[in-house]
């Protein structure tokens, strides 16, 4: 039976390259990464520090992994080896990110463990999420920095990456809004299939977000209970001129 990522991590010896991970991340990794074990894989890691994580991924995924890494420290170039390509540059530099997006192949997994500032996380996501293959996963680590002022965050601060992601959750529901112009929508957002929030990690799955629909099949068995409409709801419905519950809009007969 293959070892878990947590087991491989805790086998790191004192002479091995350093790896720094929160323990609860390993359960998140297993959920998203395990389907890719022992199969051809393009994996991009942003922020490699002492290079230990590169060895960790190779041990976990097997010989078919092709690793791409980004770091701002030129010393990290020394970690380049067979099937490991290291690029030096800054996450805060749109010119660098544009060039990186143009030169990288499409990725199965992108892991942002870089500088953790709000600008870095947002810019990197907007430039590199489109590089994911259909069905790929994009993870941003250490999103607790969204609550730390020194990284540009702060509780409920609109510029934080967590608040940015909350707006993307609203965009996922665009087909259910009476006024879709109230939320952001662009090609990147239309490729987001899901957003999952964990303690200090946000995970995005990429799949074209198609307009949802629902279908009623079978014979009705009971008479629906009529709920008395409040005066406020009746007034609001009259004001907007639309049905508040718009199930009919998405129904296929």
User: Over the stretch 139-184, which tens digit does the pLDDT of each residue have?
Assistant: 999 999 999 999 999 999 999 999 999 999 888 777 777 777 777 7
Mean pLDDT of 223-244: 67
Question: What value does the mean pLDDT of the chain take?
Answer: 90
Residue predicted with more confidence, 58 or 191? 58
Q: Examine the residue annotation and report whether 116 is marked as an active-site residue of this protein.
A: yes
Burial of 143 per CB tally in 10 Å (0-12, 13-18, 19+) = buried
Res. 242: pLDDT tops 60: no
SS3 of 229, please? coil
pTM of the entire structure? Answer: 0.88
- Is residue 6's pLDDT more than 90? yes
Structural domains of the chain in order of their starting residue, each with its CATH number: 5-206 (3.40.50.150), 224-252 (no CATH)
pLDDT of residue 11: 95
Measured over the CA atoms of residue 149, residue 151, residue 154 and residue 157, the dihedral's sign is positive
CA dist 98 → 103, 185, 186, 189, 191 (Å)? 9, 21, 18, 18, 19
pLDDT (tens digit, 9 = 90+) per residue, 200-210?
A: 999 999 988 77
pLDDT at 172: 78
pLDDT at position 201 = 98
pLDDT digits (tens, 9 = 90+) for 81-115: 999 999 999 999 999 999 999 999 999 999 999 99
**Segments in 62-117 forming alpha helices (H):** 94-103
Asked if residue 248 has pLDDT above 70, the reply is no
Q: For the chain, how many residues are written?
A: 253
Active-site annotation holder among 116, 144, 193, 253: 116
């Amino acid at each position: 039976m293959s070892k878990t990522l947590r087991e491989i991590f805790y086998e790191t010896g004192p002479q091995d390259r350093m790896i720094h991970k929160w323990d609860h991340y390993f359960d998140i990794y297993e959920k998203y990464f395990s389907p890719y074990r022992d199969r051809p894989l393009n994996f991009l890691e942003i922020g490699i520090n002492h290079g230990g994580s590169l060895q960790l991924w190779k041990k976990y995924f097997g010989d078919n992994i092709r690793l791409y890494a980004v770091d701002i420290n030129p010393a990290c170039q020394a970690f380049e080896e067979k099937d490991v390509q290291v690029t030096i540059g800054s996450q805060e530099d749109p010119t660098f990110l544009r060039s990186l997006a143009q030169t990288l192949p499409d990725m199965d997994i992108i892991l942002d463990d870089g500088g953790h500032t709000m600008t870095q996380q947002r810019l990197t996501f907007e430039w590199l999420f489109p590089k994911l293959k259909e069905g790929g996963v994009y993870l941003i680590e250490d999103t607790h920095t969204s609550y730390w002022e020194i990284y540009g965050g702060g509780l409920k601060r609109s510029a934080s990456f967590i608040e940015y992601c909350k707006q993307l959750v609203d965009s996922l529901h665009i087909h259910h809004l009476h006024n879709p112009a109230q939320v952001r929508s662009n090609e990147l957002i239309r490729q987001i299939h899901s957003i999952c929030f964990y303690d200090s990690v946000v995970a995005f799955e990429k799949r074209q977000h198609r307009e949802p629909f629902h279908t009623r099949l079978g014979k009705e068995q009971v008479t629906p209970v009529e709920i008395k409409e409040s005066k406020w709801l009746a007034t609001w419905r009259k004001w907007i001129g639309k049905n508040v519950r718009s199930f009919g809009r998405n129904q296929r007969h």
